[in-house]
Structure 1
């Protein structure tokens, strides 16, 4: 296993905030490269020979919103990630799903690392990264009602609990979504409380709008919240799952088996 720190041609990206934010480094473990924020905790990963693939099961599950929209409509929709991580979701949405995609990332070193080490493409008309505090950025009215797939994966360098996990935050998240939009959230951490987090999401979105996976072996639980609650029939979910697997290689049939509404 090898490790490195960011360097190279991204000095402009690194100018602001770096004094207060953790250092970014990566490690290589066979065919997989991991992103770290100065600790052993993994903040994201990439297959070095397949950079657009989604490595971790929980990251794949962050794509469960696909079950709630017609597959042929995906490329016309917009994705927003809160937290860039190793750029996995941003790359997948932009390159594989061909969606208009934006990520909001506080730490400019993370953006530099993604471009240097994790094959994040340069910004283009369909993909951009905004360097800002997500809690502030999502209060900008330009985002309201524009997002079909909101993916929230915000953890500090210790990965102890979600950085943003309040009712006002989830209210702002719901305001971002289109009527068919969904938010997926990764809940993980030693200090996190699944029940408390879900209670706040339920207060913002309505209890009937909340769906959850069973935890992964690593302890990540992905929760989905719909802007407009619905109960698609299992037959429709399975039909869409088959198309998701065929089109994008994601294990969507398994999702349907381990994914259910909190109120059923």
Structure 2
């Protein structure tokens, strides 16, 4: 089920396409079904979702799994530092890190119509001293040395309206992502799409971070594979991971015990590819 934006709200909520001096961005559209509001980029592909009566809940399973980085952080400082989201989607991760985790949060989104849609329809907080949405190119943002070493958490979910593969997925991009992280920082990446290659993308991430600092969760039913990469993190033992998972479930109502069962090291064929 998919419905366009109400025509009376399009210019205000999605951006004025009639201005010939502006880039002709793919417009954000929305649909609603069974109490859930979905964001699209003028296509059937879902770019994000929000349960209308529970806007701070992470509705989509793959978005919940983007929070799996929490397993690699000690409970005492799990929510410290700055969270950065590349690709705003429906703003679910940014809302969660800002409101639930109380982290200083920055989102980087190139399409201004997505930002407008999130402001109007997806309860995106207004900018303040702890929350900022930047209408910028994510690749240029991570390449800017002024941002290196500033993020404790980096969530990467970059797709266009075709959702064929990640928009940014080259070796330099992942190297810049690592540079953005502070020591002990963690990145999650959503790998999905008709033309996407898990092996190719994972090898690039592992080249940037080191194969011993990269893990993945088994794919969702929809085919989303979440990769977790760390900058200098010592992996705790199983008992400690289980304690953290229990804490995350109790404190933040996220299925962390399930994540723990789904976490895998990189396959040997990818590690061998890096060595070769």
Q: TM-score, normalised by structure 2?
A: 0.90
After TM superposition, give the deviation of residue 262 of structure 1 in Å: 1.8
Which residue is 2:245 aligned to? Answer: 241
Residue 230 (structure 1) shift? 2.7
Match of 1:223 in 2: 227
Counterpart of 2:4 in structure 1 is 4
Aligned equivalent of 1:142: 146
**Alignment pair present for 1:41 and 2:45:** yes
CA spacing shift, 1:117–1:13, aligned 2, 3 Å: same
CA gap 1:45/1:118 in 2 versus in 1, 3 angstroms: same
In the alignment, the residues of structure 1 paired with residue 78 and residue 244 of structure 2 have an alpha-carbon distance, to the nearest angstrom, of: 12
Does the CA contact (< 8 Å) of 1:17 and 1:108 recur in 2?
no
* Corresponding residue for residue 54 of structure 2: 50
Q: Per-residue displacement from partner, 1:21-51 (whole Å, max 9, x unpaired)? A: 2111100011100000000100000000000
Do 1:207 and 1:263's aligned partners in 2 also have CA atoms closer than 8 Å?
no
Change (3 A) 1:13 1:204: farther
Distance 1:35 1:117 in 2: 9
Name which of 247, 253, 256 aligns with 2:257. 253
- Cα-Cα RMSD: 2.0
Q: Paired residue for 1:102?
A: 106
Following superposition of structure 1 onto structure 2, how do residues 90-239 of structure 1 map, counting pairs within 5 Å?
Answer: 90-239=94-243
Query: Secondary structure of 1:20's partner?
Result: coil
* TM-score (norm. length: structure 1): 0.94
Given that residues 15 and 113 in structure 2 are in contact (C-alpha distance below 8 angstroms), is that contact kept between their aligned partners in structure 1? no
Aligned-pair CA distance for 1:57? 1.0
Cα gap change, 1:185 to 1:18, in 2 (>3 Å): farther
Pick the structure with greater CA Rg. Answer: 2
**Structure 1 residues 170 and 11 mapped into 2: Cα distance closer, same or farther (>3 Å)?**
closer
Judge conservation of contact 1:13–1:112 (CA < 8 Å) in 2: no
Tell me the alpha carbon deviations over residues 145-202 of structure 1, each in whole angstroms, 9 at most, x when there is no partner. 1111100000010110000000000000000011110110000000000000011011
Residues 192-244 of structure 1: CA deviation (Å, up to 9, x unaligned): 00000011011111111110000000100000111114322111111000000
Aligned residues: 264
Structure 2: tracts of 5 or more residues without a match: 269-276
> CA-to-partner distance for each residue in 1:83-133, whole Å, 9 max, x for gaps?
000000000000000000000000000000001010111111111101010
User: How far apart in 1 are the matches of 2:72 and 2:14?
Assistant: 41
Q: Aligned partners of 1:141, 1:13: CA distance in 2, in Å?
A: 33
Structure 1: unaligned runs, 5 residues or longer: none
> Partners in 1 of 2:144 and 2:102 — Cα distance?
25
Cα distance in 2 for partners of 1:17, 1:126 equals 32
